[in-house]
Amino acid sequence: MCESVKILEPSLLASDPGRLAEQMARAARGGAAMWHLDVMDGHFVPNLSFGPHICAGLLKHTSLPIDVHLMVEKPSRFIDPFLHAGASSVILHVEVRDSEPIPQMLREIKEAGATPAVSLRPQTPLEMLEPYLPLVGRVLLMSVEPGYGGQTFLPGSLERARALRAMIDRVSPGIQLQMDGGVTLDNAGSILEAGVDILIAGSAVFDAPDIEARCEEFSLLLGR
Ligand code: DX5
Ligand code: ZN
């Protein structure tokens, strides 16, 4: 079996909004492979963040894909606008209300040519993911409570990553596993060892004195 490619996905939530394009260019030079765009509606999580127009606007300044993490109460309202805005992948939370048709939304994302993905909060049982695995290309495991950047990595997340990797390999091999929240240079090695393919890092990248050098350090850990 071939080894999966491991990549760095900087979370733009931690960037300086006034210098976004410039900071993205620095991160890209250091080896960033994809951008993480956190979308928050003030309901599913207490915070507000980026909308579809930001996604479309950023794509004028980058050739790297944008991965949209929908932390919103009604994702069905936002899938189409983000697909039209050029999102390459869309991540849905499994904890949304039953009235939100997750399998249908995942199919819609795939039919549009983007990668469908699901995510779960730190306390959500992993079993909730299982029915969706045949429908997704990626799974995002939250290692902090969603809503804010700069939080500390929750220790139980490594154990969850190992269990999830085993579930993925059993049910639907080939799905990429993402870890989001509190990822740093110090814990990245253990996260990768636990079977994670994609490191999402916000403050560890954008709070660094030299963003390009910090991404190069991550790239070395990723074997790139
Ligand atoms: C939290 C977001 C994360 C966050 C990560 O709700 O989903 O993507 O921006 O930021 P850091 O790496 O600073 O924890
Ligand atoms: Zn995120």
Q: Write out 22-86 in H/E/C secondary structure.
A: HHHHHHHHCCCCCEEEEEEECCCCCCECCCHHHHHHHCCCCCCCEEEEEECCCHHHCHHHHHHCC
* Residue 182 CB less than 6 A away from ligand 1: yes
Token pair belonging to 1: 């079996």
* Residue 9 CB less than 6 A away from ligand 1: no
Burial of 173 (0-12, 13-18, 19+ CB in 10 A): exposed
Known catalytic residues are: 38, 180
Atom of ligand 1 nearest to the CA of 184: 12
221 phi and psi, to 5 degrees? -60, -35
Q: Give the per-residue pLDDT at 92.
A: 98
Q: Give the per-residue pLDDT at 3.
A: 61
Q: Give the per-residue pLDDT at 4.
A: 76
Ligand number nearest to the C-alpha of 150: 1
Q: Give the per-residue pLDDT at 106.
A: 98
Q: Give the per-residue pLDDT at 1.
A: 45
CA distance 148 to 190: 23
Q: What is the pLDDT along the chain (224 residues), one digit of tens a residue?
A: 446 789 999 999 999 999 999 999 999 999 999 999 999 999 999 999 999 999 999 999 999 999 999 999 999 999 999 999 999 999 999 999 999 999 999 999 999 999 999 999 999 999 999 999 999 999 999 999 999 999 999 999 999 999 999 999 999 999 999 999 999 999 999 999 999 999 999 999 999 999 999 999 999 999 98
Map out the domains of the chain as residue ranges: 7-222
Q: Which amino acid is at 48?
A: L
Cβ atoms 34, 197 nearer than 8 A:
no
CA distance 217 to 58: 25
Overall CATH class of domain 7-222: alpha beta
Cβ atoms 91, 72 nearer than 8 A:
no
Cβ atoms 214, 204 nearer than 8 A:
yes
Cβ atoms 46, 73 nearer than 8 A:
no
* Residue 203 CB less than 6 A away from ligand 1: yes
What is the rounded average pLDDT for all residues in the chain?
97
Ligand number nearest to the C-alpha of 145: 1
Token pair belonging to 33: 């492979």
